[in-house]
A and B are shown apart, each in its own frame.
Chain A
Amino acid sequence: MSLKTEQIAVAKLTPHPKNVRQGDVGAISMSLEMHGQYRPIVAQKSTGYILAGNHTYKAAMSLGWKDIAVTYVDVDDDQALRILLMDNRANDIASYDEGGLGEVLSLLMDTEKQLAGTGFNPEDLDELLALVTGIATLDPAEAFAAIPDGDRPNATQMTFMLTLDQGEMVKEALALAKSVDGYDLDTGNVNSNGNALALIAQEFIRVIR
């Protein structure tokens, strides 16, 4: 059986009345808009019923297309019904090489259009990687938020090593400093130990000088 593709008026086609497939017309519409029609609808010659491409037909209608590419097949009603089911079932039972799919999607993610027109989105890629590797990937916006920007904060952290005795002495001095009225006023610091230590240092410098 040789197949021939012809361009016909969309109105000449009829969705198959026994089509039970529920396709995503929105996704197909996006594909038609981005890629155009890249394979013909398959219709039964005697009835004009669509055997493969019922949702492509609906998407084309929703986009206001006047013409569409069709290949007619000359089959009886029994075979038409079997083709209708088989075309969808073949998709259902197919699977992906998930590692390979991840690589292909990742390649496209590097392009300007990213995953537009593939039917996949970045979240799909993340889920795929997590499924294949057992390692969850993060949303880049979330991950990069960990990198600070802006000016240097007006804060510094100091760490000292002390003997136990020195540590106790410092604690006592900090407690005494905190008992001074206004020890933390107008310092711009909300850390009480930092304010107490600064007061101690200030007094020490004043006395020594």
Chain B
Amino acid sequence: MSSAKDLIVKPIGSADARAFVKKHHYSGKVAANSQLHLGVFWNGKLEGVMQFGPSMDKSHSIRLVEDTGWNDFLELNRMAFSDVLPRNSESRAIAVAMRLIKKHSPNIQWVVSFADGTQCGDGTIYRASGFVLTGVKKNKTIMELPDGRVVADISLNISGRTTGKTASWWRKNGAKSLEGFQLRYVYFLDPTARERLTVPILPFSDIDRLGAKMYLGEKPGVGGVSNTSSNLLGNGGASPTPTLHQED
């Protein structure tokens, strides 16, 4: 019987990747700024996609690791897997993806990604894949509009395509931030980048402590602390997760 070791990870075209993500990602939306699309094949079928590209807020994110060149880091913009994959497939796929990046884009020193603890999960896969936790921030950017649509404020502000109204307009007209947290994770391809991290590495236990736990869109139990501490929100707080929610 095939196991996670039998996964095949290969670059695929953006059209195939986007079609898969639209079908399998919890948001149903793709990240428009992805540049690299890796397909995860298993038993002769495409069963997963990982999309990498620049951070939406690159000028901000680049400060996470001192002396990072403008193009020397990536964001894992989207990750979607079907539910037929065997155990550990996601971490196996990420491990192969990181090896491919290291081999073909040796300038990339680190990869940042965000877990959406308002609708999806707190980043179990990242923790199992060697990412470090560098931020837990109460969500202020993912909004639910009065008609039930869920959007990131940046997608409203950047193009206006989503609704034709800005985020501030919507906030005044009934939109509310979703309850939950955004969690920021970093993976180091260059070990020296870890030493240049400008924010603290947080213990994974902080997720529970801060009440940020979420798995498959469900909160399994809220921890004792309902608000993030100010030091986490200051230097170590996660950026929003705009790319997780940007409209196509």
Contact = CB atoms under 8 A, between A and B. Distances in A.
6 contacts: A103-B2, A103-B6, A133-B44, A142-B11, A146-B36, A147-B105
A125 B213 CA distance: 41
Given A138-B12, A140-B104, A141-B104, A147 B52 contact: yes
Contacts of B160: 161
The 4 closest A-B pairs by CB, nearest first: A143-B11, A99-B44, A152-B70, A144-B104
Contact of A138 (B13, B43, B96, B103): B13
Given A102-B44, A147-B108, A107 B5 contact: yes
A134 B225 CA distance: 49
B96 A110 contact: yes
A126 B16 CA distance: 15
Given A98-B44, A149-B105, A144 B36 contact: yes
B87 interface: no
Interface residues of A, number: 31
A107 B6 contact: yes
Contact of A133 (B13, B37, B45, B104): B45
Contacts of A150: 69-71
A144 B105 contact: yes
**B46, B52, B72, B74 — most chain A CB neighbours (10 Å):** B46
A149 B71 contact: yes
A131 B233 CA distance: 50
A140 B100 CA distance: 8
Interface string B84-108: 0000000000001001110111011
B63 interface: no
A114 to B, nearest CB: 11
Interface of B: 2, 5-8, 10-13, 16, 35-37, 39, 41, 43-46, 52, 69-72, 74, 96, 99-101, 103-105, 107-108, 158-160, 166
Interface string A104-146: 0011001000000000000000100100110111111111101
B7 to A, nearest CB: 8
A143 B72 CA distance: 17
Nearest to A151: B70
A138 B11 contact: yes
Given A149-B105, A159-B158, 10 more contacts: A129-B8, A129-B41, A132-B44, A144-B101, A144-B105, A147-B35, A147-B36, A148-B71, A149-B107, A151-B71
A166 B2 CA distance: 61
B72 to A, nearest CB: 8
A159 B10 CA distance: 35
**A133, A139, A149 — most chain B CB neighbours (10 Å):** A133
A136 B2 CA distance: 22
Given A133-B45, A138-B13, A106 B71 contact: no
Contacts of B36: 143-144, 146-147
A93 B8 CA distance: 28
Given A102-B41, A107-B6, A148-B71, A135 B12 contact: yes
**B12, B44, B74 — most chain A CB neighbours (10 Å):** B44
A192 B52 CA distance: 32
A154 to B, nearest CB: 11
